[in-house]
Structure 1
Amino acid sequence: MGVLPQGITLSPGGARAYVANRGSNTLSVIDTVIDNVVVTVSGPGGTPSGGFTYVSGPGI
């Protein structure tokens, strides 16, 4: 998890939680089944599965 987590949303089935980390300008993706961070994305970019992530915030 990044610095100052703030804001969360769940995937439609609830298998993933997406947490905006305000203090580190990152987005953490949490697998809710195993309760573990699977990836932290810095700014806009791709995901390990080849998908896209859209992140907005100061300086991004």
Structure 2
Amino acid sequence: MNDQPESNTPRTHAEIVAEARRRREAAALRANLGRRKAQSRERSEPDDLTPPHDPRQKETTCR
């Protein structure tokens, strides 16, 4: 990712705006991916640590 243009010609306003938009969208995608990964980890951790609730199992152990 080279920030400098390939030639010495100045960039147009449209090029600068388009690059800024691409950078913002890429940052938003990275943030969303990180947030989704964190949420899926939070959802999966309790399942790994505690056994699933089964009312039939509780009834059989009490008898």
Q: Same fold (TM over 0.5)?
A: no
TM-score by length of 2: 0.15
Q: Which has the higher contact order (CA 8 A, sep 6+)?
A: 1
Q: Considering only CA atoms, is the larger Rg found in Structure 1 or Structure 2?
A: 2
Higher helix proportion (structure 1 or 2): 2
Q: Which structure: greater strand fraction? A: 1
Q: What TM-score, normalized to structure 1?
A: 0.16
